[in-house]
Structures are given as structure tokens and as C-alpha cells.
Amino acid sequence: MYKLLALDLDGTMLNPDKVITPMTRSSIQQLMSANVNVTIASGRFPASVWLHAREVSMNFPLVALNGAVTVDPVTGQMLEGVALKTEDMLFMLDVIEQEGAYIHFYGYNVLYVQEINDINRNWALNNRVNRPELDSPEELDEHVAEQADFIRFVEVGQDFRTFVSQMPEMLFKAAVICSDHDSREKLFHILEESALFQCTRTGSLRFDVNSVGVSKRGALERLCLEHHIERSQVAVAGDYDNDLDMLQWAGLGIAMGNAEPHVQEIANVVTGSNTEDGVAQAIHTFLL
């Protein structure tokens, strides 16, 4: 019945330690052996999505940066991208600066920050594939070093407005972080109501900003059209606000047991949490 399963990464395919568990890995591979395509649809960097897909030998195009780019599962190269417009980003910076919030930008596997600080210092490192089975320090160092070059971390060191003006069609997402709830909500609504951006909450302190119309759902729709897959033949699993649109659109929307209540409410079914191999449970219950 189903021809495609699309999985969010954090809080879904990955457990709280950011690991693909053996049961989840085995279930995904069983599903692919049954001729069901499996892909990842995440807000993460393209390289992070590609590296995790490579861990389970996925061969269907991947979705990264909340749908702003689609990624070749073999090479990790961009298939299609929707960048933020320069004039829109300049407006965004004006709004952000008024509230004194933090912001950084995502290129294709490049994180651009104004200066290195405690917020961003380990951001790119947190996108790597974790393998707890690597016992020795030597194996772990080799594993980390292998992935180090896939995502670059660049300190702009100048006014962000000047930097943004020099990067046409090369920035795909922004992350805004603000510890003050009222200021954060004010920023979210100003940017969303401008009709220039797609804003999605991705954590208690942060939200992501993409170009208007960009979403995981939109990217999956285009991929399904190219691969002759009907909406009714698509299952998706997710846990947070940037998964809402694809959960509502798919033939089968699967909310994780650790998902927010409003996410569970709009899904067709709820599976176990990501501490309970909820993705594996869903595959065996609904798809195999």
C-alpha cells in the first residue's frame, strides 16, 4: 500500500542520545527490502541528513533544512534548493536586532555566525552521526575526523547586513534564538505575518526561518510527483512543529509518543516514543 516513508531525524529516527538504534536500523532496512522507499525529512544540514541516510543505505532523495533543499542520496549533492532572498534577510535582520536576539544562517553545509560563542560553538558538531559501539578513543577520533569536513563553521566577523548582501542565492535557512519568551513570540509573529517567510518552532528557545512556501511537505510533494508516488501512498513520522505540514498531508501521519500534544492530535496514529524505538514500532505495525 505504501511506497514511501519519510522520517524526521531529531526526536524521531534518532533516540535522545542522537543515535540510530539497532532496532530502528533493522526495521528501516526490512522495509526497504520490502520495496518501500525510505527517506529523511529534517531541518538539519544536508550533510547531516545524507550521513544518517548512508548509515542505513537509503537510496531515495533526501529533504534537508526544512525542505529548502533536496539531496542526492548517493553523492550528498544538492538536487534542488530554495534560498532566502537578500532583501528579505535584510528585513529579518532589522527585526531581530530590535529585540536583541541571536541569529545565524545556513548555507549548503556551512554555518555562518557573526562570532563564535557558547550558543553556536558546537552546533555543527552536533550534526554528526553518533556511533556508541565505537569503544576505543582511536576509533571515535577517526569517526569524528571523517565527518569533520562535511560541515564548515564560518565566523563572518563583520556586520551581518554586509555579509548577507554579498551572499545571493546561497543562504537557505536562519535560526533565531531568544531566551525571553515574549520577545521570541513577538519576533516569530512579525516575521510570519510579513508573508516573506516560513517560520517554524524547533525548540523551546528557538525557531527556524525559511523562504515563504518552503516546507518538508512541499519538498516531499515535488519528490513524489517526480517518482510517481501518490499522496495516499506516503507515510511520514515526526514529533515537532516543523513536521506538522507533512503529517497532515501524508496518507499516514505518524506522531511519535514523545511529540507535543498538538502534534499527536493532528496525526492519524501515535507510535512509541524515540526512547522506545517508536519508528520501528510504526514500521512493524503499519507498514510491513
- Mean pLDDT, to the nearest integer, of 34-46? 97
Question: Is residue 110's pLDDT more than 90?
Answer: yes
Quick one: 200 and 115 in the same domain? Answer: yes
The band of 201, judged by pLDDT with boundaries at 50, 70 and 90, is very high
Residue 213 buriedness (CB in 10 A; 0-12 / 13-18 / 19+): exposed
Across the range 66-86, mean pLDDT stands at 97
**Residue keyed to cell 512543529:** 241
Lowest mean pLDDT among 156-170, 208-222, 242-256: 156-170
* Banded pLDDT at 127 (limits 50, 70, 90): confident
Q: Indicate whether 63 and 95 sit together in one domain.
A: no
Q: Is the pLDDT of residue 137 over 80?
A: no
Residues 6+ apart with CB under 8 A from 89: 105, 164, 171, 174
| Mean pLDDT, residues 228-235 | 98
Residue 286 clears pLDDT 80, i.e. is over it: yes
The mean per-residue pLDDT over the stretch 237-259 comes to 97
> Does one domain contain both 121 and 183?
yes
% of the chain at pLDDT higher than 90? 80
Q: Take residue 64 and report the three cell numbers written for it.
A: 534537508
Domain count, the chain: 2
Tell whether 159 and 222 lie within a shared domain. no
Sign for the CA dihedral angle at 96, 174, 126, 4 comes to positive
Tell me which of 119-133, 153-167, 254-268, 272-286 is least confident.
119-133
Check whether residue 63 and residue 121 sit in a common domain.
Answer: no
Q: What is the CATH number of the domain that holds 67?
A: 3.40.50.1000
| Per-residue 3-state assignment (H helix, E strand, C coil) for 206-262 | EEEEEECCCCHHHHHHHHHHHCCCCHHHEEEEECCHHHHHHHHHCCEEEECCCCCHH
Average pLDDT over residues 204-219: 95
Q: CB atoms < 10 A from the CB of 100, how many?
A: 9
Q: Is the pLDDT of residue 134 over 70?
A: no
| Domain endpoint, select from 164, 194, 211 | 211
Q: Is the pLDDT of residue 143 over 70?
A: no
Q: How would residue 169 be classed by pLDDT, with cut points 50, 70 and 90? A: confident
pLDDT of residue 27: 98
pLDDT at 140 over 60: no
Residue 117 grid coordinates: 560563542
One-letter amino acid at 114 equals: Q
Rounded to 5 degrees, φ, ψ at 124 are -65, -40
Mean pLDDT over 101-125 rounds to: 91
- One domain, residues 103 and 161: yes
Range of 102's domain?
86-211
Which of 211, 226, 258 terminates a domain? The answer is 211
> To the nearest whole percent, how much of the chain has pLDDT over 70?
94
C-beta separation of 174 from 104 below 8 A:
yes
